[in-house]
């Protein structure tokens, strides 16, 4: 069994204690420039915890110089010795346990991980559908971060960049495991629970300060800093904001982190929604931060501003309070902000406002209290406590999802299945991920099954990988490892295969493979060559251990390098193939220059697995993903398919032993050509993965997890990963019309459940009423189990397109065999509101709503209908200025920034593009069309006003002159003919025109 390390530097606890003591000594003699709050400062009022928070903040603010204030706006806030203000580092990673932190001396690129409780990945936490449990998880993570902070308060900051609230709109997203769900309600429920646990239960103080990532419209890695997510108002309010808003409203987070992307043509780092929307969701003070390098990106990647001082000023005015950039060096940030002040981009009042936000959270963390506040007593002995291990096991168990059990293989009878073959690349392996910590111990599936069966069982473990040798047909030499150092280059040298020229091949996902050398156990790696075998596991920021073995028509093979570039960028560059020189040197080149290899199979992994399975009472095939291979930060996926070699393993073992269980460990929905009759899914679930898996296989645990996103049948029918309009393109269970592989909310049980006697607290309600739904759920099976009861609604009539169904409430309940429980699910009628683009506000429409209760979004067991006496949205009035973005439908347009500061306009992406404004009341006749337009390119463009259809009757045409700049707007008018009555109005754009607003008078 190999222990996976996800960072370049780890330290045992004893070493960390030594460094902490050494740091304390250096502090005492003045060799380290970090002070402590206990440095006996002058007794200023801001030190008095008995004073109101605002008074304490204002007292401290009044004592700071301008330079000191500016220094507090950087991620690495240096100590202010004269006031006894300690160092403060913004941001520690704790997505599913304490993960890593930036090294204070060696900069952003050097991270340090410590051992801590590693819980299931975030998508696994959400798969429990148990907010109460996840709040406990968050509390433990908060405790352990406090413990790390006690060891090293400089390295381990108490602001936490977690949870991730990005919606899992597209499972191809490289960071899928970091989010919770494609559904905003489930996402916000889990984020609220986790954030509440992190924050602690004190009404005024914080255990740690959670920051929500990443605001907003971020769900692709491809060109993430350059791509713009088009979010029309309904998608923005009903979907994107809907995940963040409840968490902020519940005071379960202390701020947001801006995302890398642009939204409607404007970088989120300067999006006014941060200040105007997000801060309006709570009365608490928020401390908002940039993402790493985000401030620089505004100039150096996105080119949105010409100068950094202007960019930094725009960020501050948009509502960000901290600049995550330049590692621990605050100098450039202070310099840019100083320049912004001198040029008049900012005032000192602007600076003070952000400094107040920063100080507010630092005060609530107890930094300026003599005793450190109510959480200041937490020390390192809290890390990895036995009760934390117990909670981790329970969480891994509750996260398990039984996807299929068609033949009833599960659970296995431990009395009948005393010999078990456990096979597959993950049978004796656990993985963490980029935002995961270092596990203090590991229970693999093989370990868990052996422990469960004990001395009375026989458990055989087989990895099931093909062992091969690659012979270059030009030189007759085999691809051979020469050592484990980064300078020990792989060459073509052996003329007969030795262990140094033998490789274990695993296709993880799609056809992305890793090649592990048999002689040294290390992985083939390199930056486009030369290659070496220095990697213990695939990992790092630039994952260089990825290859594709391509079969050729003549029976030979090419090896393509599909790792990351580290010198010229972060993207994957295709068409780099392994080459072999006449002297045996190995590098990369074009496909035309690629070396052709004969692939000698030394031993067949499938044959070994089949042999073990054939002799066992039962077989368990453990397959899945490696979190760093084929998709991670900066790298999306093109397909969701499980690797071909793993699918072959499943098929062969199942044929050899019908009593086969397949365990799938992945970070995202996965497709397979084979259809396992018994399929148990878990994300990478931390130290207790094996205990949880073994418990479910043998019936000690009855799986009750549910998938939190649609498992599509494939990717062929999915739109572009850059298409964020879930309404028009039919994304997620809310709008998808196809038949999924597994629907949102799906999960089976060893028990069976019957739903009866659905009732509500009335047949109708007002727009501000409360709807209470009760249903009786009975365990009709022979085993105790848990059922996740889910309430969905569907609005029957609307002026606009509404979801097929939408999750409104859920409850995970435990039932003994024969037990019946009445489950009550509550929602407010206001929860049924949609964003009314005609008036730019929420509206609860008058309509009948189906109330759908069941075990998944597609497994509805009981339903009824309730009348909601909301409002009728009147026909549009286009006689007053109407924002162009508030259309009802469109074709071939982009949403763009009206100005750099605020506003969204519509831009024609092609001639003849259009936007529709449905059900417009034109009265006796509109005579004049007036619009605010811009056109950067030369020549004239045009806007046609058509009725009823994009090619319907032409009411008028306006000419749009070149304005020379996308932000230079002018008015254009046109006379109208025949524009009367209630009609659908189409605005048809030609010539690269931008339109911000218009009216028909």
**Tens digits of residue pLDDT in 270-308:** 999 999 999 999 999 999 999 999 999 999 999 999 999
CB atoms within 10 A of CB 276: 12
- pLDDT at residue 430 greater than cutoff 90: yes
CB of 488 within 8 A of CB of 482?
yes
Roughly what angle, to the nearest 10 degrees, separates helices 13-29 and 131-151? 50
- Whether the per-residue pLDDT at 96 is higher than 80: the answer is yes
Confidence of residue 33 (pLDDT cuts 50, 70, 90): very low
Q: DSSP E strands: which ranges in 406-502?
A: 419-423, 458-462, 466-472, 478-480, 491-494
- 443 vs 451: CA distance, rounded Å: 10
Tell me the mean pLDDT in the region 128-154. 97
CA dist., res. 707 & res. 124, Å (int): 9
As to burial, measured by CB atoms within 10 angstroms (0-12 exposed, 13-18 middle, 19+ buried), residue 962 is middle
What's the pLDDT score for residue 110?
Answer: 44
pLDDT at 794 over 70: yes
CA–CA dist 241, 185 (Å, integer): 11
Which residue bears the tokens 């902020």? Answer: 248
Question: 173, 124, 121, 146: which is closest to 437 by C-alpha?
Answer: 121
Q: What is the mean pLDDT of residues 335-351?
A: 98
619-646 pLDDT, tens digit per residue, is 999 999 999 999 999 999 999 999 999 9
Q: Are 660 and 620 in contact (CB under 8 A)?
A: yes
Selected residue with higher pLDDT from 190 and 110 = 190
**In which residue are the tokens 């204070």 written?**
104
Give the pLDDT confidence score for residue 574 in this predicted structure. Answer: 56
Q: What is the pLDDT of residue 897?
A: 98
Q: Hey, which residues does 53 pair with through a beta bridge?
A: none
The whole-number pLDDT of residue 564 equals 76
Report how far residue 24's alpha carbon sits from residue 864's, in angstroms, rounded to the nearest whole number: 66
Q: What is the pTM of this model?
A: 0.94
How is residue 335 written in tokens? 């310099």
* pLDDT at res. 102: 65
pLDDT confidence tier of residue 364, bands split at 50, 70 and 90: very high
Strand partners of residue 768 = none
Res 323 pLDDT > 80: yes
Q: Is the pLDDT of residue 316 over 70?
A: yes
* CB 613 within 8 Å of CB 464: no
Q: What is the largest CA-CA distance in the chain?
A: 91
Please provide the average confidence, as pLDDT, over all residues in the chain. 93
Closest CA to 115 of 35, 207, 4: 4
Instruction: Let me know: does 851 contact 865? Beta carbons within 8 Å.
Output: yes
The interaxial angle of helices 184-199 and 241-249, nearest 10 deg, is 30
Residue recorded with tokens 């992985």? 523
Is residue 894 over pLDDT 80? yes
* β partners of residue 419: 458
Residue 947: pLDDT over 60: yes
- Reference 695, options 456, 447, 386, 462; nearest CA is 447
Tokens of 94: 């704790």
478-516 pLDDT tens trace: 999 999 999 999 999 999 999 999 999 999 999 999 999
pLDDT band at 35 (very low <50, low <70, confident <90, very high): very low
Residues 197-232 have pLDDT tens digits of 999 999 999 999 999 999 999 999 999 999 999 999
| 792 alpha-carbon distance from chain centroid | 24
Active site residues: 291
- Enumerate residues 6+ apart whose C-beta is below 8 A from 90: 75, 76, 77, 157, 159, 289, 322, 324
**Each residue of 552-607: pLDDT tens digit?**
999 999 999 999 764 444 344 457 999 999 999 999 999 999 999 999 999 999 99
Q: Which two tokens stand for residue 852?
A: 């759908």
Cα distances (Å, whole numbers) of residue 287 to 210, 362, 660, 689, 762: 10, 10, 52, 36, 44
pLDDT number for residue 565: 60
What percent of the chain has a predicted confidence (pLDDT) above 70?
Answer: 94
- Look up residue 337 and give its two tokens: 């902000």
Helix/strand/coil for 654: helix
**Alpha-carbon span 179 to 165, nearest angstrom:** 6
For residue 15, which of 141, 98, 160, 112 has the smallest C-alpha distance? 112
Span 513-521, mean pLDDT?
98
At which residue do the structure tokens 């991730």 appear?
164
CA distance 395 to 193: 14
What is the rounded distance in angstroms from the CA atom of residue 633 to the CA atom of residue 373? Answer: 37
Quickly count: other Cβ atoms within 10 Å of residue 203's Cβ.
6
Q: Which of these, 245, 122, 121, 138, lies nearest to 188 by C-alpha position?
A: 245
Q: How confident is the model at residue 747 (pLDDT cuts 50, 70, 90)?
A: very high
pLDDT at 998: 98
Within 8 A by CB and 6+ apart from 315, the residues are: 269, 270, 290, 295, 298, 323
3-state helix, strand and coil shares in percent for the chain, rounded to the nearest 5: 25, 30, 45
Q: Are 483 and 520 in contact (CB under 8 A)?
A: yes
The string of pLDDT tens digits covering residues 838-856 is 999 999 999 999 999 999 9
Tell me the pLDDT band of 41, cut-offs 50, 70 and 90.
low
For residue 971, what are the contacts with CB-CB under 8 A and spacing of at least 6? 930, 931, 932, 933
Distance CA 453, CA 442 (A): 18
pLDDT in the model for residue 575: 76
Strand pairing report for 806-815 and 847-854: unpaired
Rounded to whole angstroms, the Cα distance separating 871 from 576 reads 61
- Residue 24: what are its φ and ψ, rounded to 5°? -60, -40
Structural contact between residues 868 and 861, judged by C-beta atoms closer than 8 angstroms: no
Residue 456, SS3 per DSSP:
helix
Give the pLDDT of residue 19.
Answer: 34
Convert the pLDDT of each residue in 796-818 to its tens digit: 999 999 999 999 999 999 999 99
Q: Would you say residue 26 has pLDDT above 60?
A: no
Give the full edge-to-edge strand order of the sheet including 458-462. Answer: 401-405, 678-682, 660-665, 618-624, 419-423, 458-462
985, pLDDT greater than 70: yes
Give, in order, the Cα–Cα distances in Å from 478 to each of 91, 294, 491, 503, 512.
48, 46, 8, 11, 22
Q: What torsion do the CA atoms of 138, 144, 145, 148 make, to the nearest 10 degrees?
A: -170
Tokens of 216: 């907003």
pLDDT digit string (tens) for 675-734?
Answer: 999 999 999 999 999 999 999 999 999 999 999 999 999 998 899 999 999 999 999 999
Phi-psi region of 964 (alpha: psi -120 to 50; beta: other; left: phi over 0): left
Q: Could you tell me the pLDDT band of residue 541, with boundaries at 50, 70 and 90? A: confident
Q: How confident is the model at residue 826 (pLDDT cuts 50, 70, 90)?
A: very high
């Amino acid at each position: 069994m190999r222990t996976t390390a996800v960072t370049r530097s780890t330290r045992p606890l004893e070493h960390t204690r030594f460094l902490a003591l050494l740091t304390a000594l250096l502090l005492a003699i003045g060799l380290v420039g970090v002070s402590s709050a206990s440095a006996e400062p002058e007794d200023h009022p801001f030190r008095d915890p008995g004073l109101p928070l605002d008074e304490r903040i204002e007292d401290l603010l009044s004592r700071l110089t301008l330079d000191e204030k500016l220094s507090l706006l950087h991620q690495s806030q240096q100590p202010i010795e004269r006031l006894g203000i300690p160092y403060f580092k913004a941001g520690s990673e704790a997505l599913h346990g304490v993960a890593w932190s930036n090294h204070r001396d060696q900069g952003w690129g050097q991270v340090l991980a410590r051992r801590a409780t590693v819980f299931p990945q975030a998508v696994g936490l959400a798969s429990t559908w148990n907010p109460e449990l996840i709040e406990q998880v968050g509390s433990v993570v908060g405790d352990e971060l406090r413990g790390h902070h006690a060891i090293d308060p400089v390295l381990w900051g108490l602001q936490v960049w977690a949870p991730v609230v990005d919606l899992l709109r597209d499972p191809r997203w490289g960071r899928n495991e970091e989010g919770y769900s494609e559904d905003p309600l489930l996402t916000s429920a889990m984020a609220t629970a986790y954030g509440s646990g992190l924050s602690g239960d004190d009404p005024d103080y914080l255990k740690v300060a959670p920051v929500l990532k990443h605001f907003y419209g971020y769900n692709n890695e491809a060109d993430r800093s350059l791509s713009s997510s088009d979010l029309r108002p309904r998608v923005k309010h009903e979907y994107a904001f809907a995940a963040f808003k409840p968490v902020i409203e519940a005071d379960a987070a202390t701020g947001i982190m801006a995302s890398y992307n642009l939204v409607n043509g404007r970088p989120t780092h300067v999006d006014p929604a941060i200040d105007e929307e997000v801060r309006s969701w709570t009365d608490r003070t928020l401390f908002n931060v940039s993402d790493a390098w985000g401030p620089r990106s505004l100039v150096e990647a996105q080119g949105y501003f010409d100068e950094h001082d202007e960019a930094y000023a725009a960020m501050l005015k948009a509502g960000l309070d901290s600049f995550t950039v330049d590692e621990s060096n605050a100098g450039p940030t202070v310099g840019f902000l100083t320049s912004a002040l001198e040029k008049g981009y900012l005032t000192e009042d602007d600076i003070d406002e952000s400094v107040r936000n920063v100080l507010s959270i630092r005060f609530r963390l107890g930094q300026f209290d003599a005793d450190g506040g109510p959480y200041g007593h937490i020390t390192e002995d809290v890390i990895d406590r036995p009760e934390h291990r117990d909670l981790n096991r329970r969480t891994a168990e509750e996260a398990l999802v039984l996807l299929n059990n068609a033949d009833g293989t599960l659970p296995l009878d431990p009395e009948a299945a005393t010999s078990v073959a456990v096979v597959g690349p993950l049978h004796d392996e656990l993985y963490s991920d980029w935002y995961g910590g270092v596990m203090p111990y590991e229970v693999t599936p093989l370990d868990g099954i052996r422990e469960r069966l004990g001395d009375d069982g026989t458990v055989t473990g087989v990895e099931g990988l093909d062992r091969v040798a690659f012979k270059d047909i030009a030189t007759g030499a085999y691809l051979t490892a020469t050592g484990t150092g980064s300078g020990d280059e792989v060459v073509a040298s052996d003329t007969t295969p030795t262990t140094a020229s033998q490789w274990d091949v695993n296709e993880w996902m799609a056809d992305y493979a890793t090649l592990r050398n048999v002689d040294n156990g290390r992985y083939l790696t390199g930056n486009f060559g030369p290659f070496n075998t220095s990697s213990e596991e695939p990992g790092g920021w630039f994952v260089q251990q990825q290859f594709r073995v391509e079969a050729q028509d003549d029976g030979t093979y090419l090896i393509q390098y599909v790792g990351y570039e580290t010198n010229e960028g972060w993207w994957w560059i295709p068409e780099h193939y392994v080459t072999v020189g006449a002297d045996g040197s190995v590098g990369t080149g074009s496909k035309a220059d690629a070396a052709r290899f004969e692939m000698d199979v030394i031993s067949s992994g499938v044959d070994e697995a089949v042999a073990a399975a054939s002799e066992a009472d039962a077989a368990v095939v453990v397959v899945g993903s490696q979190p760093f291979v084929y998709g991670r930060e900066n790298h999306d996926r093109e397909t969701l398919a499980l690797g071909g070699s793993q699918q072959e393993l499943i098929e062969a073992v199942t044929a050899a032993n019908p009593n086969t269980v397949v365990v799938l460990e992945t970070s995202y929905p996965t497709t397979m050509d084979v259809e396992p009759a018994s399929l148990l899914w878990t994300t990478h679930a931390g130290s207790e993965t094996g205990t949880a898996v073994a418990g479910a296989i043998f019936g000690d645990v009855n799986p009750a997890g549910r998938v939190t996103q649609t498992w599509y049948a494939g990717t062929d029918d999915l739109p572009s990963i850059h298409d964020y309009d879930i309404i028009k393109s039919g994304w997620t269970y809310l709008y998808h019309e196809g038949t999924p592989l597994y629907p949102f909310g799906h999960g089976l049980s060893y028990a069976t459940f019957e739903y009866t006697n659905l009732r509500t607290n009335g047949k109708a309600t007002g727009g501000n009423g409360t709807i209470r739904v009760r249903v009786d759920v009975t365990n009709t099976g022979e085993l105790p189990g848990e059922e996740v009861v889910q309430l969905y609604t569907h609005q029957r009539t609307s002026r606009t397109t509404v979801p097929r169904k939408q999750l409104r409430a859920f409850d995970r309940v435990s039932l003994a065999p024969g037990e019946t429980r009445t489950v009550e699910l509550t929602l407010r009628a206001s929860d049924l509101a949609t964003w009314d683009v005609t008036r730019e506000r929420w509206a609860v429409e008058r309509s009948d709503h189906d109330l759908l209760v069941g075990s998944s979004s597609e497994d509805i067991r009981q339903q009824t209908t309730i009348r909601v006496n909301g409002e009728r949205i009147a026909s549009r009035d286009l006689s007053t200025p109407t924002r162009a973005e508030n259309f009802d439908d469109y074709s071939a347009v982009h949403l763009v920034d009206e100005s750099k500061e605020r506003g969204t306009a519509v831009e024609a992406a092609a001639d003849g593009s259009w936007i529709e404004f449905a059900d417009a009341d034109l009265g006796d006749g509109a005579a004049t069309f007036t619009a605010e337009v811009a056109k950067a390119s030369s020549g004239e463009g045009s806007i046609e006003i058509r009725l009823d259809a994009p090619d319907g009757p032409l009411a008028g045409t306006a000419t749009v002159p070149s304005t020379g700049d996308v932000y230079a707007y002018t008015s254009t008018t046109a006379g109208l003919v025949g524009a009367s009555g209630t009609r659908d109005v189409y605005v048809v754009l030609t010539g690269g025109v931008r339109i911000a607003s218009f009216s028909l008078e």
